């Protein structure tokens, strides 16, 4: 499809609303939905895309074997000769008993500097990973709870969600259920956890039989500011104990001790995250925390993942709560800091910000996960919301990146002193079905304003839609497309370039209906290519089409300036099996500065194991089968 035809279709098939100007005087803390009450028309399908979608079974593939370093073949097209650097992405290695997000971290690296592209993967062998293996045949084993694994030793920190880079190509692996780990980008082995266990506030930490894997809640997206060398994490509690500090910012300069800063609201009450703190962002002046869409019910944490109790659902809050904190306050305080809350219509699983800001003003961008709950997975008893048919067996236990309404993209200007949204610009089109959090952007481009961002959109993968979840969104207060009029035949996934400054879709590619495109990564052209489209986007593409040269799942390479023209090259291997991938990053080199010191993991774990006085096997297994292999990795 010609790019100009696409842009004309996007303009005619979408909707765009801008609110500002007169609203600046006394804006409410929670602005009205600019689209107003419905019904709203279903966007006209853009030309060139399939009118159906069938999710490949490969999307839910179980992979527990590492992929040895191997050359990838060019299946179609021609590989550009100015590709450079390394693409690294996280994936979920689920065991047969796992569901949802509860897989071990498996990190992949695509090397582009040699004569042919090479791919390798490595299970992330942190102490928690080794602990799970060491205790798997004992009463202390970790068991899947869909979003994580739990056991008598605590909550397994799987570090399986995202990757953050620090100066010197230092690489951090993260998740929402524990402290991050620094890993070596060359070997993909762990180097050291970020901070001591005692730097993170546990939900529960008994004095006897202390958890070897403390039950902590963190953020999968802790930001790092390359301009200042500052990294921010969080530690929070979801246990409502009187007088307890619920939320702390963890400020770190990349070396030495972490500074813990408690956060309160203007009235002195503790900042209480009611859903999760999946993502944080920094502007020049602010740390911004999103209370992200996705509710983790007690039934999910306390019961097996395929049980009726685990299938209980609570619809997430339909608004996004953003908490704005002054970075200067974090730097200078000897006590706590105050956060101010801004509220915007519609849920957000992720968000982005313009780095450019003033102490009084910041700009937030969200590709809203409209009418969705990402903390769900397909249960074996689930049925399709529209047809009532049982779910496909090969998709049971898969995550559900389904928006039960069309995705909306918004830009919001926020008064940081008051927490008021003073200007908003929102739009949707046929290209924004399934907008969400897997994004790519040229890492060499200016961060002052967001500009062009490449989004992996899930479309409307109706194979993953389930009645149990979907019916909770029928009366969504910000619904655009009536529930009964949703495109139940499916909308294919896509790769979409959104100009967030202009508030519009600039370019897009829809994958064929029997493929599923995911996890995009921007690769700058060799050299100092700093333009927003000056490079390539590498995406993971799932398929059940197996040939002599391809196992189905492939890596597709797009010219970042011409998505609608389709991939310029497709890469594959006859034995390449890739589980569900999540977030990714690009590095120019695998040579890493590494940490200047590491946490004494042996000391902190042995001291905890010593409290298991009535079961000395805990300490003996820990020292023999966990600390021994871990320390061997460091030699």
- What are the phi and psi torsion angles at 565 (to 5°)? -75, -10
Task: Please write the tens of the pLDDT for every residue from 181-226.
Answer: 999 999 999 999 999 999 998 888 888 999 999 988 899 999 999 9
Q: What angle do CA 630, 86, 125 make, to 5 degrees?
A: 15
Average pLDDT, stretch 146-172?
Answer: 95
pLDDT surpasses 70 at 122: yes
CA 345 to CA 318: how far, in whole Å? 7
Task: Please write the tens of the pLDDT for every residue from 503-548.
Answer: 999 999 999 999 999 999 999 999 888 999 999 999 999 999 999 9
Specify the pLDDT at position 164. Answer: 97
**pLDDT tier at 114 (50, 70, 90 boundaries)?**
confident
Question: What are the extents of the domains in the chain?
Answer: 3-594
**pLDDT tier at 239 (50, 70, 90 boundaries)?**
low
CA 564 to CA 43: how far, in whole Å? 19
Residue 614, Ramachandran bin (φ over 0: left; ψ between -120 and 50: alpha; else beta):
alpha
Specify the pLDDT at position 411. Answer: 97
| Torsion, CA 87, CA 80, CA 515, CA 518, rounded to 10 | 30
Average pLDDT, stretch 364-390?
Answer: 95
- 495 and 551 in contact (C-beta within 8 Å)? no
**Exposed, middle or buried by CB within 10 Å (0-12, 13-18, 19+), for 588?**
middle
Specify the pLDDT at position 244. Answer: 54
Specify the pLDDT at position 527. Answer: 80
- 581 and 108 in contact (C-beta within 8 Å)? yes
- What are the phi and psi torsion angles at 148 (to 5°)? -165, -175
Q: Which residues of 522-551 are buried (b: 16+ CB within 10 A; e: fewer)?
A: bbbbbeebebbbbbbbbbbbbbbeeeeebb
Provide the residue count of the chain.
635
CB-based contacts of 632, cutoff 8 Å, min separation 6? none
Its pTM stands at: 0.94
Task: Please write the tens of the pLDDT for every residue from 561-589.
Answer: 999 999 999 999 999 999 999 999 999 99
Percent of the chain with pLDDT over 90: 82
CA 35 to CA 372: how far, in whole Å? 19
Task: Please write the tens of the pLDDT for every residue from 16-46.
Answer: 554 443 333 333 456 888 888 777 878 889 9
CB-based contacts of 437, cutoff 8 Å, min separation 6? 279, 349, 350, 367, 369, 583
Average pLDDT, stretch 96-120?
Answer: 96
Which among 235, 168, 309 has a CA at the least distance from the CA of 595? 168
Specify the pLDDT at position 594. Answer: 83
Specify the pLDDT at position 223. Answer: 97
Q: DSSP state, 44?
A: P
Instruction: Answer whether the bond into residue 200 is a cis peptide, omega within 30°.
Output: no
Q: How many CA atoms lie within 13 A of 378 on its CB side?
A: 26
Kindly state which CATH superfamily the domain 3-594 is placed in: YVTN repeat-like/Quinoprotein amine dehydrogenase (2.130.10.10)
More confident residue, 177 or 362: 362
**pLDDT tier at 238 (50, 70, 90 boundaries)?**
low
CA 339 to CA 264: how far, in whole Å? 6
CA 517 to CA 510: how far, in whole Å? 9
Task: Please write the tens of the pLDDT for every residue from 296-336.
Answer: 788 888 899 999 999 999 999 999 999 999 999 999 999 99
- Residue 540 tokens read as 């993971």
């Amino acid at each position: 499809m010609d790019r100009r035809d696409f842009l004309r279709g996007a303009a005619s098939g979408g909707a765009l609303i801008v609110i500002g100007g007169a609203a600046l005087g006394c804006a409410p803390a929670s602005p009205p939905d600019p689209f107003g009450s419905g019904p709203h028309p279903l966007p006209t399908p853009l030309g060139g895309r399939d009118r159906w979608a069938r999710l490949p079974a490969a999307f839910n593939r179980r992979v527990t074997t590492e992929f040895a370093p191997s050359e990838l073949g060019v299946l179609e097209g021609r590989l550009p000769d100015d590709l450079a650097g390394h693409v690294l992405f996280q994936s979920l290695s689920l065991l047969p008993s796992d569901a949802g997000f509860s897989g071990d971290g498996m990190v992949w690296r695509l090397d582009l500097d040699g004569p042919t592209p090479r791919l390798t993967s490595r299970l992330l062998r942190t102490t928690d990973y080794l602990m799970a293996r060491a205790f798997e045949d004992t009463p202390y084993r970790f068991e899947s709870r869909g979003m994580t694994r739990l056991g008598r030793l605590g909550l397994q920190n799987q570090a399986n969600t995202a990757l953050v880079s620090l100066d010197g190509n230092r690489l951090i692996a993260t998740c929402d259920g524990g402290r991050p780990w620094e890993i070596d980008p060359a070997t993909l082995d762990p180097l050291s956890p970020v901070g001591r266990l005692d730097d993170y506030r546990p939900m529960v930490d008994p004095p006897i039989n202390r958890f070897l894997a403390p039950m902590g809640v963190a953020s999968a997206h802790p930001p790092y500011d390359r301009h200042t060398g500052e990294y921010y994490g969080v530690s929070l509690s979801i246990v409502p104990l009187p007088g307890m500090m619920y939320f702390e910012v963890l400020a770190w300069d990349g070396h030495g001790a972490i500074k813990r800063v408690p956060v309160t609201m203007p009235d002195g009450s503790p900042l209480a995250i009611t859903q999760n703190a999946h993502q944080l962002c920094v502007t020049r002046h602010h740390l911004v925390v999103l209370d992200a869409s996705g509710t983790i019910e007690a039934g999910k944490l306390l019961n097996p993942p395929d049980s009726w109790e685990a299938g209980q659902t609570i619809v997430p809050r339909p608004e996004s709560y953003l908490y704005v904190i002054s970075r200067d306050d974090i730097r200078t305080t000897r006590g706590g800091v105050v956060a101010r809350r801004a509220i915007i219509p519609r849920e957000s699983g992720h968000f982005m910000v313009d780095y450019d800001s003033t102490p009084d003003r910041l700009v937030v961008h969200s590709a809203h996960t409209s009418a969705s709950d990402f903390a769900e997975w397909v249960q074996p008893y689930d049925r399709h919301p529209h047809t009532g048919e049982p779910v496909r067996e090969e998709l049971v236990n898969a995550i559900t990146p389904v928006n039960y309404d069309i995705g909306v993209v918004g830009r919001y200007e926020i008064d940081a002193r008051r927490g008021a949204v003073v200007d908003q610009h929102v739009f949707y089109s046929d290209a924004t079905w399934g907008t969400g959090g897997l994004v790519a952007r040229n890492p060499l481009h200016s961060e002052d304003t967001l500009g062009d961002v490449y989004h992996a959109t899930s479309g409307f993968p109706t194979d993953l839609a389930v009645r149990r979840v979907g019916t909770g969104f029928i009366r969504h207060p910000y619904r655009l497309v009536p529930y009964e009029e949703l495109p139940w035949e499916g909308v294919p996934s896509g790769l979409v370039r959104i100009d967030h400054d202009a508030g519009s879709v600039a370019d897009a590619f829809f994958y064929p209906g029997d493929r599923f495109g995911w996890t995009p990564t921007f690769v700058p052209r060799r050299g100092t290519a700093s333009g927003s489209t000056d490079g390539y986007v590498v995406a993971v593409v799932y398929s059940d089409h197996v040939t002599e040269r391809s196992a189905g799942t492939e890596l597709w390479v797009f010219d970042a300036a011409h998505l609608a023209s389709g991939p310029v090259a497709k890469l594959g291997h006859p034995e390449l099996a890739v589980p569900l991938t999540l977030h990714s990053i690009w590095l120019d080199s695998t040579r890493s500065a590494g940490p200047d010191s590491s946490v004494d993991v042996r000391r902190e774990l042995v001291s905890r194991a010593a409290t298991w006085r009535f079961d000395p096997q805990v300490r003996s297994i820990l020292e023999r089968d966990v600390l021994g292999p871990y320390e061997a990795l460091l030699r």
